Amino acid sequence: MDAKMNESSSSSPVNSTGIDTSGALQTSPSNSTGVDPSGTLQIVMDVLLISLTVLLMLSFGCSLHVNHIRSHFSRPLGVVTAIVLHFVLIPYVFYALICAMNLNLYDRLSLTVLATCPAGGISNLFVHYADGDLALGCVVVNYVITIQSADIRF
């Protein structure tokens, strides 16, 4: 038995528990479920995802009142605080987390994208579930998207 483990460890790094520690991604020609993701299932998932996102955004839009949004324009302290946190604090916190953890390239890249682009339609879902100010969340998302769009260099 030991000879068999030593033989397998010479071809790929296997620790004493028998787990491959090479870090290489093991790929196979077909996935484990046997379903082709590029076929009908992919089309159904795309249509379902887009439909549910549109329904979610419409339902949040129906729950907002113009007076709530106007109050954030007349007293922009919450908006300014959220934008400063969005563009300054969140990227630095994620950068510190990336430096503190020993992550591979893809994990570092995904955390960087998450830190620099936290505003979007789904962020309103998190605001709603956290029982936050949905009007403030929508106003901040619109400001952030406007600022980021103005920053794009052609």
User: Which tens digits make up the pLDDT trace of 39-67?
Assistant: 788 888 889 988 988 888 888 888 888 89
Alpha-helical segments (H) within the chain: 2-11, 40-63, 66-74, 77-84, 90-100, 105-116, 121-129, 134-150
C-alpha to C-alpha distance for 22 and 142, rounded to whole angstroms: 45
SS3 102: coil
Q: What percent of the chain has pLDDT over 70?
A: 71
User: Which tens digits make up the pLDDT trace of 57-107?
Assistant: 888 888 888 898 888 888 889 889 988 888 888 888 888 989 899 888 998
Which DSSP state fits 32?
A: T
What would the two tokens of residue 74 be? 């007349």
Q: Domains of the chain: which residue ranges?
A: 65-150
Residues 147, 133 contacting (CB under 8 angstroms): no
